[in-house]
Amino acid sequence: MRSKAILLLLTILICSCGAEKKEKEQVSEVSNLDEELLSPLERKYLKNIKQITFGGNNAEAYWSFDDKLLVFQSDYNKWGANCDQIYVTDWRNDDLKNNKPALVSTGMGRTTCSYFLPGNKTIVYGSTHLADENCPPVPERRADGKYVWPIYPSFDIFTADLDGNILAQLTDEEGYDAEATVSQQGDKIVFTSMRTGDLELFTMNIDGTDVKQITHELGYDGGAFFSPDGTKLIFRSSRPKTEADIKEYQDLLREGLVMPTNMELYVCNVDGSDLRKLSDLGQANWAPFFHPGGEKIIFASNHTATRGFPFNLYMINLDGTGLTRITEDETFDAFPVFSNDGKYLVFSSNRNNGGTRDTNLFVAEWIGG
C-alpha cells in the first residue's frame, strides 16, 4: 500500500444532443486508499481516508478544539501498554506505523474516555491507577455465554497536561466514575457515575464543581456527548423493563458488569428535561455523536446483524427519521466523531487489519452533507 494517495482524475465529456455542445462534468477524485479501504457506498460520504494506527485496539479518538490533535486510548503492546492507556497524536503529520505517539496517561492502571479541555494543552480522562498500578482483571468468559463489559469501581476522573502530569482529581465518590466528555463551549463535563447505585449521567463544571444528576431511570446511561450548542445530550442506554431483564441487569451490576447487547439512543436537554428515546432498532445502538449542524446523529449499530456483528455507522435525524447507512464493513466500525469544523470524521474499524483482531483509527474527509 502506498503511503500517499495518488489522485485519479476522471474527466467525462457529455454531448448535448440538442445544442451539440460538450460540457465537462465535475472532476471526481478517488485516491488509491479510498478504493482499497472504502466501498462505493462509503465513498458517498467519505473521501481521502487515512489510517492512523496500525496495531492493537485503538478507540475513542477525540479532537482538540483546533482539530490539530487527536487524543485516544490504545492497548498496543508494542507501545508498552498492557491495557488501555491514553495517547495524543498530530494526526496529519505523525507516523504511528513506525513511531510511538506521546503517552499522556500515567502508564499505570487502566484508562478510558479521554477528551481535550479548552486551550488544547490539557485533557480529562478516567483511570484506575489510584487503586492499583497494575491493569485490573478482565472478566473471564462466562459459562452462560453472555457478552459483558466491566464497570471498574476504581475508575475516577482526572485532568492532566500533555506531558502526562496529573493536574487534578475531579471525582472521589465511591464506585465507577468515567466516560467524561466536554462541551464545545468548554464549560461543562458530562460523565457516567455509579454513586447512586445505578449507572446515571451527571454534569459538572470543568473544575469538578456543581455536580448535577441528569438521568434517574434504572439502566446503563453512558457514552454521552453535548450538542454543538451545548443545550442537549445524546447518549446510549439499556433500559430494562421486564422483571427478568431488571433482575439480570441488577445481578450483573452487583458483579461490576453490564451487558451492552441491547442499547438504544436517547436525547435530552442538558439539565435532563425533555428526555426521549431516539432509536428503536433493537440490538446494540451506541457511540452516538452530533453532526456539527446539530440536527443529525451519527452512531454505531448492529441492528441488521444476525450474529452480533457487523457493526456499522449510521445517521439519523434528531426527530428519529431518516435512518441512513454510512459504512458497510464486514466486522466492526464504531466510535465516529466529527471534527469541530465538520470537515473530518474519525472512527475505529477492523478494516485493513490483515485478518487480525486489531481495531485501528481512521480519519476521512466528510462529504456527506
Closest by CA position to 92, among listed 43, 37, 52, 45: 52
How confident is the model over 297-345, as pLDDT tens digits?
999 999 999 888 899 999 999 999 999 999 998 999 999 999 999 999 9
The predicted pLDDT at position 26 comes to: 34
Q: So what's the pLDDT on residue 140?
A: 86
Summary mean pLDDT of the chain: 91
Strand partners, 213: 202
- Write down the pLDDT at residue 232: 98
120/98 Cα distance (integer angstroms): 25
Does residue 24 lie in a domain region? no
Dihedrals φ, ψ of 267, to 5°?
A: -135, 145
Whether residue 251 is contained in a domain is answered as yes
Structure-block grid coordinates of residue 157? 476522573
| 180 is a domain residue | yes
Domain-located, residue 170 = yes
In the chain, the number of structural domains is: 1
Tell whether the model's pLDDT for residue 18 goes beyond 50: no
Distance CA 311, CA 301 (A): 5
Grid coordinates given for 291? 453532526
Mean pLDDT, residues 36-59 taken together: 97
> Is position 1 within any domain?
no
DSSP string covering 195-211, please? Answer: TTSS-EEEEEETTS-S-
Please state which of the ranges 17-26, 232-241, 323-332 shows the lowest mean pLDDT: 17-26
Q: What stretch of H or E contains 97?
A: none
Query: Is the distance from CB of 231 to CB of 269 less than 8 angstroms?
Result: yes
Mean pLDDT across the stretch 33-40? Answer: 94
- The answer, yes or no, to whether residue 41 has pLDDT greater than 90, is yes
> Would you say residue 8 lies in a domain?
no
Of residues 357 and 3, more confidence is placed in 357
Whether residue 117 is predicted with pLDDT greater than 90 in this model: the reply is yes
**Domain region containing 341:** 52-366
The per-residue pLDDT for 306 is: 87
The answer to the question of residue 64 being in a domain is: yes
Q: What pLDDT is stored for residue 12 in this prediction?
A: 27
The CATH number that applies at residue 276 is: 2.120.10.30
Q: What is the three-class DSSP state of 246?
A: helix
The verdict on residue 65 lying in a domain is yes
